[in-house]
Amino acid sequence: MSLRGVLLPAMFALASPVMTFAQEAMPPAAPLPSALSHAKKIFLGNAGDQENADCLRAYNEFYRDLIAMNRFELVADPAQAELVLELHYEIDLGGSLVSSHDKDSVRQFRVAVIDPHTHTVLWSLTERTNYAIFQKNRNKNLDQTVDQLAKDFDTLTASAPVAPNNKSHVTH
């Protein structure tokens, strides 16, 4: 018998249990709160720094992205909403300002999805972005980050909702 005839079956026999184990290791997906896929009226609140131009820009862009989805009525009063979205702008003061790696980012935008009747946080979405020294690059990074956050929300609230990947999608 050739060496190939011996090694190939041996490698397959060793790999089969590993592949089976990897497939069985994933727990079943937990159901998402039903309010995520049933809500039609939403209220967007800006929980960022009102004096910060990046916060206001992100709020306005996220608002436009929600309108562009053509699935929601944005209401001016949170009491009329079925979901309240809080857009947060967060900075890690302990990190470096300039980073080329996602995991080292110091700026992030987070949307807390809240049930306005119980005040329970139903879900939270986060996208990280890098700081840029030049305004043009900072705007580009912010636009990409907010657009991805809107895509995450769109995926989460689809008729057959799927929890978005928990890894930031924006690369810089």
More confident site: 43 or 7:
43
**Domain annotation covers residue 165:** no
Average predicted confidence (pLDDT) for the chain = 80
**Domain annotation covers residue 151:** yes
**Domain annotation covers residue 110:** yes
Residue 59: give its domain's CATH number: 3.30.160.670
More confident site: 165 or 43:
43
Asked whether residue 14 carries a pLDDT value surpassing 80, the answer given is: no
105 confidence band (pLDDT: 50, 70, 90): very low
User: Residue 88's domain spans which residues?
Assistant: 35-156
**Domain annotation covers residue 140:** yes
Percent of the chain residues topping a pLDDT of 70 = 69
**Domain annotation covers residue 147:** yes
pLDDT tens per residue across span 141-164: 999 999 999 999 999 998 765 666
**Domain annotation covers residue 1:** no
3-state secondary structure the chain: CCHHHHHHHHHHHHHHHHHHHHHHCCCCCCCCCCHHHHCCEEEEEECCCCCCHHHHHHHHHHHHHHHHCCCCEECCCHHHCCEEEEEEEEECCCCCCCCCCHHHCCEEEEEEEEECCCCEEEEEEEEEECCCCCHHHHHHHHHHHHHHHHHHHHHHCCCCCCCCCCCCCCCC
Tell me the C-alpha distance between 169 and 172, whole Å. 10
**pTM reported for the whole predicted model:** 0.72
**Domain annotation covers residue 168:** no
What's the confidence (pLDDT) of residue 162?
60
pLDDT tens per residue across span 26-35: 788 788 899 9
- The arithmetic mean of pLDDT across residues 104-117, rounded, is 85
Percent of the chain residues topping a pLDDT of 90 = 47
- The arithmetic mean of pLDDT across residues 65-91, rounded, is 94
Asked whether residue 98 carries a pLDDT value surpassing 60, the answer given is: no
**Domain annotation covers residue 80:** yes
Tell me how many domains the chain contains: 1
Q: Tokens 């690369």 correspond to what residue?
A: 171
Asked whether residue 123 carries a pLDDT value surpassing 90, the answer given is: yes
